[in-house]
Amino acid sequence: MNKTSENKEEGCLGTSFSTKVIRSGFAKPDTHGAITLPVYRNAAFEFPDSKTIAVAFQHRTDLHTYSRISNPTVTNLEDKIKAASEAENVVALASGMAAISNTFLTIAYAGSNIISSPHLFGNTFSFLKSTLSQFGIEIRFVNTDRIEEIEAAIDENTCAFFTEIITNPHLEVADLPAISFLLRQKNIPMIIDTTLVPWCNFDAKKAGIDIEVLSTTKYISGGATGIGGAIVDYGTHDWKSNPKLGALPKPKGMSRFMFKLRSEIARNLGGCMAPDNAYLQSLGMESLELRYNRMSHSAYTLASYLSTHPKVRKTGYPQLESSPYKTISDKLFTGNPGAMFTINLESKKACYDFMDALQVIRRATNLFDNKTLVIHPESTIYGTFTQEMKKVMGIEDTLLRFSVGLEDPEDLKKDIERGLEAF
């Protein structure tokens, strides 16, 4: 069950982000005094007697029974994320998509609807639009810049509002506090994919987020060492009016959502995080703030430079004066909106020529690797989508997406210049 532990170390050295994450302790002391929690690769856990094993199964103690349900190394990552986010409960899963699918399968039911931005990560769009619709769940796409559009889409069967914290590749930032004000009046949970901005620069609770879903593959892992995802529950939503969750028990320190997720959905779907990945991602958590600030600073430097370059038609980055989202981005992310930026060139061919000339920047999908990456989203991530879907999602074939890594920004700038001379 809920394995989040008493954290004995918490609070002893102040509350700065990195200190909190690095000092976050183990649920139980390690027998050998290991300073980093070892990887528990085992599937099963044994018990001293039949009574204890029965208690572990029936009363949901903090004892581990089987690694699909919980595992000490995975719990340790969950505890680090809990320390970082100050959430009520965290579940780590196999991937960002596992976090997203488990969340919606916990709350949505046949006849219900989800209100969402159409500008979503490709698989999320496909999950909502294709997979969930086969179970009688309707997706209502809205322009999240228009609160009245969100309000008009709400009815008695709306089970959630969803968007991404910075949409990818459009780089829109919704006014979450304003949307939250509306949703709280209507008792609708706000679920946000926060893959693009970690907690060191963003106070999710203050923004009114009830549940965060994220791909830990990105910023958290650091160096793209493995796939993972997490569901972060702030315990702020009252689930009583959700027909699927309303009658469930509400254990202490756990929402009805979390109860359903932990005791049924996550273990039935079986998308548990592998202990090896949890180990690597726990290490990533410790250098997160350092990496994020460096990447974000380099991204701003490069985006500013490109925004006045004659061969670049448009540069997208929320911190640029030209972005319509600068004010809200400054407010939500303390002027530090991360490592992703985009440029538009004159044609698809120019994008290809640009990419093919690069020598430092890698041609790859993924975000927030230590290496700087570039991709042409229209022909890759959205390559199998129909023209009509691309239109709904606003995917342009003149757009390149960058994820800025930890290399020297001067070297990146020279490489970008090499690309811009190639067409």
Q: Is 121 in the site for ligand PLP (CB under 6 A)?
A: yes
Least gap, CB of 54 to ligand PLP (angstroms): 36
Nearest residue to ligand PLP, by Cβ distance, number only? 96
Tokens 């680090």 -> residue:
80
Interaction residues for ligand PLP, span 358-377 (CB under 6 A): 367
Contact 174, 152 (CB under 8 A): no
Least gap, CB of 394 to ligand PLP (angstroms): 16
Return the range that interacts with ligand PLP (CB under 6 A); candidates 13-21, 89-97, 237-245, 324-332: 89-97
Interaction residues for ligand PLP, span 381-410 (CB under 6 A): none
Q: Which is nearer to ligand PLP, 191 or 350 (CB)?
A: 191
Contact 292, 218 (CB under 8 A): no
Residue of 124, 180, 221, 277 interacting with ligand PLP (CB under 6 A): 124
3-state secondary structure (DSSP) of residue 48? coil
Q: Which is nearer to ligand PLP, 97 or 320 (CB)?
A: 97
Structure tokens at 273: 């995080």
Q: Which is nearer to ligand PLP, 76 or 168 (CB)?
A: 168
Residue 109 CA: distances (Å) to CA of 57, 102, 114, 156: 28, 13, 10, 13
Residues 6+ apart with CB under 8 A from 323: 171, 316, 317, 329
Sheet with 113-116, edge to edge strand ranges: 89-93, 229-233, 211-215, 190-193, 158-164, 113-116, 138-141
Q: Is 102 in the site for ligand PLP (CB under 6 A)?
A: no
Residue of 74, 77, 128, 227 interacting with ligand PLP (CB under 6 A): 227
Q: Which is nearer to ligand PLP, 229 or 275 (CB)?
A: 229
Query: What gap in Å lies between CA 176 and CA 192, rounded to an integer?
Result: 9
Report CA torsion sign: 342, 343, 348, 351. Answer: negative
In this structure, the number of other CB atoms found within 10 A of the CB of residue 327 comes to: 12
Q: Is 215 in the site for ligand PLP (CB under 6 A)?
A: yes
Query: What gap in Å lies between CA 61 and CA 56, rounded to an integer?
Result: 5
Least gap, CB of 401 to ligand PLP (angstroms): 11
3-state secondary structure (DSSP) of residue 137? coil
Cis peptide before 189 (omega within 30 of 0): no
Query: What gap in Å lies between CA 121 and CA 164, rounded to an integer?
Result: 8
Interaction residues for ligand PLP, span 153-212 (CB under 6 A): 164, 168, 193, 195
Contact 216, 92 (CB under 8 A): yes
Q: Which is nearer to ligand PLP, 27 or 174 (CB)?
A: 174
Q: Which is nearer to ligand PLP, 378 or 415 (CB)?
A: 378
Least gap, CB of 66 to ligand PLP (angstroms): 24
Q: Is 229 in the site for ligand PLP (CB under 6 A)?
A: yes
**Binding residues for ligand PLP, total number by CB under 6 A:** 15
Least gap, CB of 227 to ligand PLP (angstroms): 5
Q: Which is nearer to ligand PLP, 25 or 228 (CB)?
A: 228
Which residues bind to ligand PLP, rule: CB under 6 A? 95-97, 121, 124, 164, 168, 193, 195, 215, 217-218, 227, 229, 367
